[in-house]
Amino acid sequence: MDNRFWQEEDEAVELALNWAKKRTVSGSDPKTTAHSAEYLREQVGQTITEEGLGPKEALAIYEVLSESNRSSDDPMNFAYIPSAPTRAAVAFDEVVSAANVFGGIWECGAGSIYAENQVVEWIKGYLGWPDQAIGTFVSGGTYGNLSALACARDKAKNAWQQAGTYPDGRPQDGYKLIISEETHSSLEIIAKVLDVDLLIAEVDEKGRMSGQAVEELIKDHEGVFAVVASTGTTNTGSIDHLESIAKVCSNHQVWLHVDGAYGGAGLLAPSVRRLYKGIEAADSFIVDPHKWLFAPYDACLLVYRSPESVYQTFSQHAAYLDGVDHSQSNPSDMAVHLSRRTRGLPLWYSLATYGSKKYSQAIETCLNYARQCAQAIKASDHLELVMEPTLSIVVFKRKGWDQEDYDKWSHDLALAGKLLCLPSSIKGQTVLRLAFLNPNTEIDQAIQMVLETTK
């Protein structure tokens, strides 16, 4: 007699894992568009009941629900910043869930955290940062940026208090954070959460912020505690002038945070590494493995150049935490989190499986795809390249089209399940953008489809 509290466990596990295995090895097709809540309500009805539906019916319902999800890893998905994880990384995410490790403190997840720290060490090598640099994985770029800037604000507050610049550590007109016009939209939300004001630096014709623009804002405003520079803006893939910005930040003792959520992965590519010069002087850095490091959602790697102010900001102390050994590398001491899954392990497993050289080659492949596509657009009669791609995003427009034409083209291709590409805008001008983040993309097929369907 089965006396386990949870009945049908074996069947539920077998059904779920079989589905996951099939999905992992088969890949996916581009989905057309999301169904409405009304449609889904009609198709699946009420799924949470007192007696339960049983594993077979529950999984059958998920099959219906999954048809309304848009595929992110399809080779013909170029919308937003798609995710194209290796199948090894996806499979190991299932291992992470099965292991159910508490990854907040070393004593609970020592082995898993050790593996995550191997990835931190790997990234530190590309950053050119000292051995004392530390890092951890959080859920996404927003949390990574939030944590880094919370640390930056605390460091400035303490420094200003000690120097007597501001007796309570807070400037009279509030804390000021410098970003550019092209900085990710999440920084506006982060500024609200941290109760800081944003100063917007101008950018050049390629969307890049310079040290001069930062210098002017620092001189004109008191209370600047940090600057956020981008290595690969979401809209165009532009990279700010890191070297000049780093010099200005150093001269004024202002924290430099580098948002490399998408484009930070370009550090691995020799063909564009020169564009990151100056990053070795930054104070903090993020990159999202679920973007261009071929890991599944959700993961952001957050790295700090120096641990001192980090532990001051984030180490938690409570009666039930008094026994925690803070001399060890505890991820809970590095960001806005305590409970966490060891979400860095899928990237670790994939890296350990394929090797870092393969990762560099994959990123170079995507960069090459973008260059090929840009050349094809320039050679066409009806399309116009808006700017040369810095990384793997190609921005272009169709001569003679208005907003309605762009919307219809995008919607029709998505509805047919052929290609995903959404209109965007630059300085009020509608454009199209293709984000190449999948080395499995058939580039000739993609270019041909873009050229032919826009005629």
Give mean pLDDT, residues 229-234.
Answer: 96
Given this chain, do its domains 94-354 and 361-454 carry the same CATH topology?
no
Give mean pLDDT, residues 145-161.
Answer: 97
Give mean pLDDT, residues 234-253.
Answer: 97
Q: What is the pLDDT of residues 386-423, one digit of tens each?
A: 999 999 999 999 999 999 999 999 999 988 889 999 99
pLDDT score at 31: 60
pLDDT score at 29: 65
Task: Please give the Cα distance from 379 to 383 (Å, whole number).
Answer: 8
Give mean pLDDT, residues 358-365.
Answer: 98
Give mean pLDDT, residues 376-389.
Answer: 97
Give mean pLDDT, residues 295-308.
Answer: 96
For residue 203, is pLDDT > 60?
Answer: yes
Q: What band does 179 get if pLDDT is binned at 50, 70 and 90? A: very high
Tell me the pLDDT of the chain averaged across its residues: 94
pLDDT score at 25: 86
Q: What band does 322 get if pLDDT is binned at 50, 70 and 90? A: confident
What proportion of the chain, given as a percentage, has pLDDT over 90?
85
What is the residue whose two structure tokens read 């969307």?
207
The region of weakest confidence among 65-79, 189-203, 437-451 is: 65-79
User: Which CATH fold would you assign to the domain 94-354?
Assistant: Aspartate Aminotransferase; domain 2 (3.40.640)
Find the angle CA(421)-CA(140)-CA(87) to the nearest 5 degrees: 65
Q: What band does 35 get if pLDDT is binned at 50, 70 and 90? A: confident
Give mean pLDDT, residues 129-143.
Answer: 97
Q: What is the largest CA-CA distance in the chain?
A: 77
Task: Find the length of the chain.
Answer: 455
Give mean pLDDT, residues 353-376.
Answer: 98
pLDDT score at 309: 92
For residue 325, is pLDDT > 80?
Answer: no
Domain assignments of the chain as residue spans, ordered by start: 94-354, 361-454
pLDDT score at 417: 84
pLDDT score at 2: 66
Give mean pLDDT, residues 145-159.
Answer: 97
Domain 361-454 has CATH 3.90.1150.10: yes
Q: What band does 33 get if pLDDT is binned at 50, 70 and 90? A: low
Q: What band does 93 get if pLDDT is binned at 50, 70 and 90? A: very high
The four Cα atoms 228, 234, 240, 245 give a dihedral, to 10 degrees, of: 0
For residue 32, is pLDDT > 80?
Answer: no
Spatial contact of 325 and 130, defined as CB atoms under 8 Å apart? no
pLDDT score at 285: 98
Q: Which amino acid is at 321?
A: L
Residue 92 token pair: 């190991």
pLDDT score at 200: 97
391 alpha-carbon distance from chain centroid? 15
Give mean pLDDT, residues 91-106.
Answer: 95
For residue 445, is pLDDT > 60?
Answer: yes
Residue 186 token pair: 């999440």
Q: What band does 288 get if pLDDT is binned at 50, 70 and 90? A: very high
